[in-house]
Amino acid sequence: MGRFLLEWFYERAQTYPNGGTPSSGLISGATYKIVARHSNKVIDVPGGVNENNLQLQQWSDLGGNPQKWVLNQIASGIYSLTSVNSPDKVIDIRNGTSTNGEAVQLMSNLNTTAQHFKINDLGNGYWSIINVNSNKAIEVTGSATTDGAKLQQTDYTGATNQQWKFVAVN
């Protein structure tokens, strides 16, 4: 019991400057569709293609594997997101840079920090997804609401195009 309390207090003492607190209610190994708050569209692999360097997009929810992601815990509060459509590939920040506007892409799982994310509970049913390497948020470019709008990383502002709902799927 003592260790549990110590871990509980330690977790709450952490600072999460990019929105929220460590993920709560998410299950490592579970499959989710990831829904953008501003558009109600999901993160999608364009055309369901299993290809490295393919920039991810938002798309209307069709329920297919290109729109499903397995959440894998790497460390406390740190996750990778594996494509159900391409189980050898994960969400990745192109070139591992910290540049605003860099593409969010599909890439072979190399287990690098460009592929690890802090998923922070915003307390309203939504989460921010912050890259561990760059400390930047995944967002829909330009707050677009259309199918095919690309994903990129940028500074976290709390805008609704940087807020995501994780919806469990079978």
pLDDT digits over 66-104, tens only? 999 999 999 999 999 999 999 999 999 999 999 999 999
Distance CA 160, CA 143 (A): 8
The structure's pTM equals 0.86
* Predicted pLDDT at 170: 79
If one counts every other C-beta atom within 10 angstroms of the C-beta of residue 33, the result is: 20
Residues of the chain below pLDDT 70? 1-24
Distance CA 62, CA 143 (A): 21
Instruction: Dig out the tokens for 51 from the structure.
Output: 């290809």
Nearest to 55 by CA among 119, 167, 141: 141
Residues 6+ apart with CB under 8 A from 127: 20, 23, 26, 119, 120, 121, 163, 164, 165, 166
Task: Write down the pLDDT at residue 71.
Answer: 98
- CATH number for the region 18-168 comes to 2.80.10.50
**Alpha carbon distance 162, 128 (integer Å):** 6
Amino acid code (one letter) for 70? V
What pLDDT is stored for residue 24 in this prediction?
59
